[in-house]
Amino acid sequence: MSIRLHLLFSVGFVLLLVIAAAGGMLHVTLAQTEAAAQIAVAARQPTLSQQVAKQSLVYARSRTAADATQLKALMASFERSAKVLIEGGKIAVDGGAERDVPALDDALAADLGKRELELWGPTRAACQKLIDSEGTDVAALDEIVRLNGELLDKSNALIERMFAVSKRTLGRLLMIEAAVITLGLLAGIVALEIGRRISTAVVRLTEKSEAVSQGNVDLAIDVPGPAEIGSLGKSLDRMRISLKKSMEMLQRKAA
């Protein structure tokens, strides 16, 4: 193999390693960013559920239009968050700017999200009954409080699952980093071996060339190594043979 091919192989291997490592780490980093956005939305669901139940109790006592409006706003927030988790979309989290939240791609997490949204259906209906009754429907209020406990269970189960998925993704990132380190060491070993072969061949060729220049024309110049060095060695050996013949002719004439 020629020196050029040796270098191309070494550089190409390192570049391939860098590209593969960068691509893998970018993919995992993006997955972690998306998971963080999903968890941020899911984490506020229990709070929103409790706020809906609390505001229902407040409205049942006050029966004011302002409290009814507040209850409707909390209902809309919970439903919006639940739908974004399942379908994906833009939503503001913690009073900040809207963020792109991808749909849940983990089958179990998506199933838990759908169950939460299904459970929200009767909760929303009970809230609407309470509003329609202007806060007097005690049965609707009891239903809201009861369903709130179930919603909390589903929300917490969803968050636990999402954290587990995020931890698994982080584990993949650590594996990629370990692979990068291992391949980096391998690339270094390959590069050192290529450099060693080239330098060894050059040193041997230099030593033999110096020996011939000092009159040792019987020493064959046969140096294994990259193609260019091997070709140079053969050329020098032909020169050695030619020089040896010339010296022998001069010696015969002198005799």
Judge whether 194 lies within some domain.
Answer: no
Buried-state track 97-112, b at ≥16 Cβ within 10 A, e below 16? eebebbebebeebbeb
DSSP assignment of 69-114 equals HHHHHHHHHHHHHHHHHHH-EEEE-TTS-EEEEPPP-SHHHHHHHH
Judge whether 192 lies within some domain.
Answer: no
21 lies in the same domain as 127: yes
21-27 contacts at long range (C-beta below 8 A, 24 or more positions apart): 21/176, 21/179, 21/180, 21/183, 24/176, 24/179, 24/180, 25/173, 25/176, 25/177, 25/180
169 lies in the same domain as 135: yes
Q: Are strands 89-92 and 98-101 parallel, antiparallel or unpaired?
A: antiparallel
Distance separating alpha carbons of residues 107 and 84, to the nearest angstrom: 16
Pair 215, 240: CB distance under 8 Å: no
212 lies in the same domain as 178: no
Distance separating alpha carbons of residues 196 and 222, to the nearest angstrom: 18
165 lies in the same domain as 228: no
Judge whether 191 lies within some domain.
Answer: no
Pair 233, 212: CB distance under 8 Å: no
178 lies in the same domain as 204: no
Q: Per residue of the chain (255 residues), give pLDDT as tens.
A: 555 565 666 666 666 766 766 666 676 677 777 778 888 888 888 999 999 999 999 999 999 999 999 999 999 999 998 899 888 888 887 666 788 888 888 889 889 889 998 999 999 999 999 999 999 999 999 999 999 999 999 889 998 998 888 787 777 777 777 777 777 677 777 777 777 777 777 777 777 777 777 777 677 777 666 666 667 677 777 777 777 777 777 777 776
Pair 227, 3: CB distance under 8 Å: yes
Judge whether 193 lies within some domain.
Answer: no
Residue-range definition of the domain harbouring residue 215: 199-254
Judge whether 190 lies within some domain.
Answer: no
pTM metric for this prediction = 0.62
What are the E-state strand segments in 109-229? none
Q: What are the two backbone dihedrals, phi and then psi, of residue 95, each rounded to the nearest 5 degrees?
A: 75, 5
Buried-state track 57-67, b at ≥16 Cβ within 10 A, e below 16? ebbbeeeeeeb
Pair 48, 119: CB distance under 8 Å: no
Question: Cβ atoms within 10 A of the Cβ of 44, count?
Answer: 18
211 lies in the same domain as 242: yes
**Phi/psi zone of residue 152: left (φ > 0), alpha (ψ -120 to 50 degrees), beta?**
alpha
